[in-house]
Amino acid sequence: MVQTPPSQFSDEQYKVENPQAEVETIIEAPRSDTDIDLEFLYTRDIEFRQETIYFIVVDRFHDGDPDNSEGPNPELYDPNGQDWGKYWGGDLQGIIDKLDYLKNMGVTAVWLTPLFEQVEKLFIQSAAIHGYWTRDFKRLNPRFIAADDEPSLNKSQEQKNTVFDRLISELHKRNMKLVLDTVCNHSTPDTGDGKGELYDDGVKIADFNNDDRHWYHHYGEVTDWEDDWQVQNCELSGLATFNENNIEYRNYIKSAIKQWLDRGVDALRVDTVKHMPIWFWQEFNADIQLHKPDVFIFGEWIYSHPSDDRSVEFANHSGMTMLDFGLCVAIRAALAQGAEDGFHLIQDILNEDHRYNGATELITFIDNHDMSRFQSLNPDPDMLRVAIALIMTSRGIPCIYYGTEQYLHNDTEGGNDPYNRPMMDRWDTDTEVYRAIRLLSGLRRLNPALSMGSQWQKYITPDVYCYVRRYRDSICFVAMNRGEAITVEEVDTELPDGEHTCVLTHCKYEVKDGKIRDLQLEARGIVVISHVGGRIKAQTIVRAQLNAVQTQPGETIVITGNCPELGNWDIAKAFPLEYINPNTWFAEIPFDESAGKLINYKYAMWREGQAPLQENLVARRWVIANEGTVKWRDSWSSGRES
Ligand SMILES: [Ca+2]
Ligand SMILES: [Ca+2]
């Protein structure tokens, strides 16, 4: 009898011959997470859009504990910080020591390079200082914790007394979140010390060169980057690449991540997501979010772009959001590299936001550990400030690469890897960029237009860009200038008439008929004016997002249902959603009377001069949580087969 592989595998891919036959299972199948209070499912969700993320390469931030710096292999450590391929001593104590510095800058979430135990050998003159060559996903890199700390996740689980645990409690004390970085695609390269030797809390469970249990793919290097099968199955730079078809591997990686979440991690950043099939991510996210419903997850799809169907599919269907490389490249071209089209390049990317279901949740950035720092392309500190102000005020969740606020950059070889990872050497809390991040991070928390609202271009030339963020009656007007001083004759701001003050400069601006006339912008100047409207308050807030509905001007989306909050099916009393972009409508809906109750709801299109168009379905059904925040993510149902 010929067995047909499940449809998600091609024949070629499915080379695992029943990995569990005749071998005992080392990794136990995870316990079902379903024996929990069902209320749980409807209660917790995380809102990450108000956060300001700060991304730290742990080894290069601050050495808070010289005793751990040599690590298990002192040859990999350079105490002088000269050899870019070696460890320089940064650790978790160093981050704890600087939490007040970060908090004062307005950072609310800290993303750390992976903390797991790494290979202890050089590979192409480099140690695994970046943390992406993991040997054991259940142990900490001994260089990052105290010399007498227990690196084993299991062994330190009960006492929770490692530096890692202190870091989490110190973060949470300050209302800050920890973003744990992980790789699911690969383990380690061939350092002459056993390629792909993998451990489960100290117990060896896999070995690329002796892979009788089929934990790895063995297809060699990717040679054709246009071939999707190769990109998903072959190796990157000789890294042993996991065989995700093997359920033992999947159980191992998911159990490791769940243990870290249990320890207090708030969010995940996942590496190289392009190199694994989407069904893997769907299963991974489903299981992780069942285990911890209020975990926020984002992935690195390298050079994702709104015109790249595959990265868009990932953003919309994997169950996590992603880093917005498309916007990053456009910002670098416009502001760091002086591209002729300037701000139009940025607007071109935002014009494609309708391709994403959740554009306001993309992670925005101007540089990272894999590319030259912004200032290696353009050292002008004022231009850096413009770029930072742009990501702090545009749609998406901003992520600042460590040291940006101190103008940290080393331009050797264009500032590319590894020179984009210098050691932090200054902690000045008075730099212009530090100050701008602090003010704008505060504004992101205060004004929901910045974190959740739509974005409207109001004036654009290659050098000058004015836009409005809007959510209900909250407005934020932003103007920026990459060129020399200029006066914009008239620009629409949507602000209420009267005098307004710029958040950054405290200069005053007069708004009349919603417009500012003769708006003077200094060279590399920025104006940010905020008007905060009413906030939704209730026992339970549902954040409802509707995608895939096409509306014309004059048409609005409402949500109707069998409860008083939704108008008891009287469509004239239905709750209105806010337009975000041509693919997304959104609202925060307050529930008091119906909190804790089962309700029916559906969406409808309210059309001037015509009968409302209701979704063609019976109804959606939901239990409203007793309290807290819930998210609905729905797609408009026309009821027709397309
Ligand atoms: Ca150290
Ligand atoms: Ca892969």
For 186-214, what is each residue's pLDDT tens digit?
A: 999 998 878 999 999 999 999 999 999 99
pLDDT-derived band at 38 (thresholds 50, 70, 90) equals low
* For range 372-398, the mean pLDDT: 98
Ligand showing the shortest atom-to-Cα distance for residue 59: 1
Q: How far is the CA of 140 from the centre of ligand 1 (A)?
A: 14
For 55-74, how does the pLDDT look when each residue is reduced to its tens digit (9 = 90+)? 999 999 999 999 999 999 99
Q: Indicate which residue of 59, 300, 367, 615 is catalytic.
A: 300
Ligand showing the shortest atom-to-Cα distance for residue 183: 2
Residue 601 confidence (pLDDT): 98
Q: Indicate which residue of 271, 353, 361, 588 is catalytic.
A: 271
Unique residue bearing structure tokens 């000269």: 82
Residues 6+ apart with CB under 8 A from 312: 304, 306, 355, 356
For 183-192, how does the pLDDT look when each residue is reduced to its tens digit (9 = 90+)? 999 999 998 8
Q: How far is the CA of 132 from the centre of ligand 1 (A)?
A: 19
Q: How far is the CA of 138 from the centre of ligand 2 (A)?
A: 21
Asked if residue 418 has a cis previous peptide bond (ω within 30° of 0), the answer is: yes
Lowest mean pLDDT among 12-21, 83-92, 250-259: 12-21
Q: How far is the CA of 208 from the centre of ligand 2 (A)?
A: 14
* For range 517-546, the mean pLDDT: 96
Ligand showing the shortest atom-to-Cα distance for residue 66: 1
Q: What is the pTM of this model?
A: 0.93
Question: Which phi and psi angles does 624 have, rounded to 5°?
Answer: -75, 125
Q: How far is the CA of 357 from the centre of ligand 1 (A)?
A: 42
Bigger pLDDT: 90 or 34? Answer: 90
Residue 13 confidence (pLDDT): 39
C-alpha span between 113 and 55 (Å, rounded): 8
For 260-303, how does the pLDDT look when each residue is reduced to its tens digit (9 = 90+)? 999 999 999 999 999 999 999 999 999 999 999 889 999 999 99
Direct distance between the N- and C-terminal alpha carbons of the chain, in angstroms, rounded to an integer: 38
Q: Domains of the chain, with CATH numbers?
A: 51-451 (3.20.20.80), 454-531 (2.60.40.1180), 540-635 (2.60.40.10)
DSSP 3-state assignment of 480?
Answer: strand
For 411-435, how does the pLDDT look when each residue is reduced to its tens digit (9 = 90+)? 999 999 999 999 999 999 999 999 9
Q: How far is the CA of 122 from the centre of ligand 1 (A)?
A: 19
Q: How far is the CA of 18 from the centre of ligand 2 (A)?
A: 19
Q: How far is the CA of 315 from the centre of ligand 1 (A)?
A: 37
Residue 193 confidence (pLDDT): 75
DSSP letters spanning 561-578:
ESSGGGTTT-GGGPEEPE
Q: How far is the CA of 65 from the centre of ligand 1 (A)?
A: 4
Cβ atoms of 449 and 476 within 8 Å: the answer is yes
The closest alpha carbon to 30, from 243, 257, 265, 362, belongs to: 257
**Mean pLDDT across the chain:** 93
Ligand showing the shortest atom-to-Cα distance for residue 187: 2
Question: Which phi and psi angles does 30 have, rounded to 5°?
Answer: -65, 150
Does 29 score more than 80 pLDDT? no
Q: How far is the CA of 144 from the centre of ligand 1 (A)?
A: 7
What are the strands, taking DSSP E only, across 422-564? 454-460, 464-471, 474-481, 486-492, 498-501, 508-511, 515-521, 526-531, 540-547, 555-561
Ligand showing the shortest atom-to-Cα distance for residue 233: 2
* For range 97-122, the mean pLDDT: 97
Total length of the chain: 642
pLDDT-derived band at 629 (thresholds 50, 70, 90) equals confident
At what angle are helices 381-393 and 432-446 packed, to 10 degrees? Answer: 10
Residue 158 confidence (pLDDT): 81
Ligand showing the shortest atom-to-Cα distance for residue 93: 1
* For range 86-100, the mean pLDDT: 98
pLDDT-derived band at 640 (thresholds 50, 70, 90) equals low
Lowest mean pLDDT among 19-23, 29-33, 461-465, 545-549: 19-23
Residue 496 confidence (pLDDT): 98
For residue 80, how many other CB atoms are within 10 A of its CB?
7
Question: Which phi and psi angles does 42 have, rounded to 5°?
Answer: -100, 0
Question: Which phi and psi angles does 96 have, rounded to 5°?
Answer: -55, -45
Q: How far is the CA of 184 from the centre of ligand 2 (A)?
A: 8
* For range 327-342, the mean pLDDT: 98
pLDDT-derived band at 642 (thresholds 50, 70, 90) equals very low
* For range 160-169, the mean pLDDT: 94
Q: How far is the CA of 621 from the centre of ligand 2 (A)?
A: 38
Unique residue bearing structure tokens 């606020």: 405
Residue 300 annotated among the catalytic residues of the structure? yes
Q: How far is the CA of 239 from the centre of ligand 2 (A)?
A: 10
Does 15 score more than 60 pLDDT? no
Residue 271 annotated among the catalytic residues of the structure? yes
Residue 43 confidence (pLDDT): 58
* For range 555-579, the mean pLDDT: 97
List, as ranges, residues with CB under 5 A of the ion ligand 2. Answer: 185, 241, 275-276
Does 248 score more than 90 pLDDT? yes
What are the start-end ranges of the H helices in 269-394? 278-291, 309-317, 325-331, 343-350, 374-377, 381-393
Residue 341 confidence (pLDDT): 98
Ligand showing the shortest atom-to-Cα distance for residue 81: 1
Q: How far is the CA of 596 from the centre of ligand 2 (A)?
A: 43
Q: How far is the CA of 26 from the centre of ligand 2 (A)?
A: 22
